[in-house]
Amino acid sequence: MLILSAMRLPVQVLVIASYLGTLSAATTIKNSNPLIFYHGRWDESPGTWWAGSGFKLNVKNLKSMTLNLGVHTTQPLASIGVSVDYGEFNTVNVSAGANSIPLSDFVSGKNQQTVVRVNAEGWQNNRINLESIILNKGAELLPYRPSNIAFQFIGDSLSAGQFLDKGVDQAWPFLVGEAFKAEHVICAQPGAALTDIFSYGNVHGVSYQFFRTEDTGYYYTADHNFTTSWNFAKDRPTPTHLVIHIGANDASQNVTASQFVQVYESFIARLRTVYHNQPIFVFTPWGWPSSDGSISQYYQGQYQEIVDSRHKQGDHAVFLVDTTGWVQFADVFPDNVHPNVAGHQKIAKEFQSWLEGWGLRPNAHWPVMV
């Protein structure tokens, strides 16, 4: 007959009781909970597309959080950015299954309510398939109050954070959004042209893909190699300002200046069927800088023509942002001429200054938590 020692039995019982107690104490938030503030492009699974898509939570008495992710999550892992109470975004690698999010270093316990922001930071391999969120006992999900400024950025690798360690979270559009204490959605695809053509592995251009839920990576995703129209009623919140920086890949694919202007004008016209009155900021290229100090340009003068055309049609809410001189060789990676971390920071400061001169002022504070 097996005899358990008096010393071992209580330990075993305590361990089992503690484990069962943890399970019963947890607060489970289903992915359909209306208090999850989804931003960016999510499909019905729900799963993210496009760099920077994610969600925000406002939680009372938060101490721990686990993300349960489904099979559509990028394998073997996806990198997400996590920010607590509007602090710095820190990278956490997650995969299908249960993922404990390290919050202890960021949750001070001084505030009853905690805002957690999560996004897919990668410019590729950036799908997270959210099944549920597990919070600690006593945690209560509250409404998230969005900022009154909401940027929609549209572009290519120069906006998506390609080659940056933290991906889109270090890119100039993201930094501008943070500087203005604004909501920000970034639909930018490395290698894609605006023109709907094959370009560097992208089977469609942004003029097509922007109106789809999926980014151009859909084509190579075995479990999701189709596109679905994006329901713009799902924009959260509706953008207040649109920013477009695109054209480098059109030039690389030998799209002529006249063709590019036509495509760009048609793209803005289609945007106006969704976003009727919002200001649209059209970036000129900052070009490709060289070590000798020269800068190679493309489509010079054409962006002004695009803006002038809109003005002639009575649309005076389209503005040209002249980025000449914003980027020098010291601001890019020498081997691929894309902005480095300091370069993206510089671009963000230049555009922030431009926007303030235009008349948009950064919020003094993030929205007060409900």
Reduce the secondary structure of 137-157 to three states and give it as a string.
CCCEEECCCCCCCEEEEEECH
Give pLDDT, residue 9: 36
Rounded-to-5 percentages of helix, strand, coil across the chain:
25, 25, 45
Give pLDDT, residue 17: 36
Give pLDDT, residue 24: 52
Residue 341 CA to residue 318 CA, distance in Å, equals 29
Output the average pLDDT for the chain: 92
Give pLDDT, residue 105: 62
Give pLDDT, residue 14: 36
**How far is the CA of 51 from the CAs of 98, 100, 216, 217, in angstroms?**
22, 22, 11, 11
**Residue 115 CB coordination number (10 Å):** 22
User: Taking a C-beta distance cutoff of 8 angstroms, is the pair 258, 298 a contact?
Assistant: no
Residue 321 CA to residue 323 CA, distance in Å, equals 6
Q: Which domains does the chain have, with CATH numbers?
A: 28-142 (2.60.120.260), 150-358 (3.40.50.1110)
Low-confidence spans in the chain with pLDDT less than 50: 1-23, 370
The tens digit of pLDDT for each residue in 71-109 reads 999 999 999 999 999 999 999 999 999 999 998 766 655
Among the residues of 103-197, which ranges form H helices?
A: 157-160, 172-179
- Give the dihedral of Cα atoms 28, 31, 35, 38; nearest 10 deg: 140
Please tell me whether residue 351 adopts helix, strand or coil conformation.
helix
User: Taking a C-beta distance cutoff of 8 angstroms, is the pair 31, 132 a contact?
Assistant: yes
| Residues 6 or more apart in contact with residue 262 via CB below 8 angstroms | none
Q: Nearest CA to 185 among 168, 201, 205?
A: 168
Give pLDDT, residue 112: 79
Residue 100 CA to residue 262 CA, distance in Å, equals 49
Give pLDDT, residue 109: 55
pTM, rounded to two decimals: 0.92
Residue 156 CA to residue 277 CA, distance in Å, equals 24
Q: Nearest CA to 256 among 195, 324, 190, 189?
A: 195
Give pLDDT, residue 12: 35
Give pLDDT, residue 111: 62
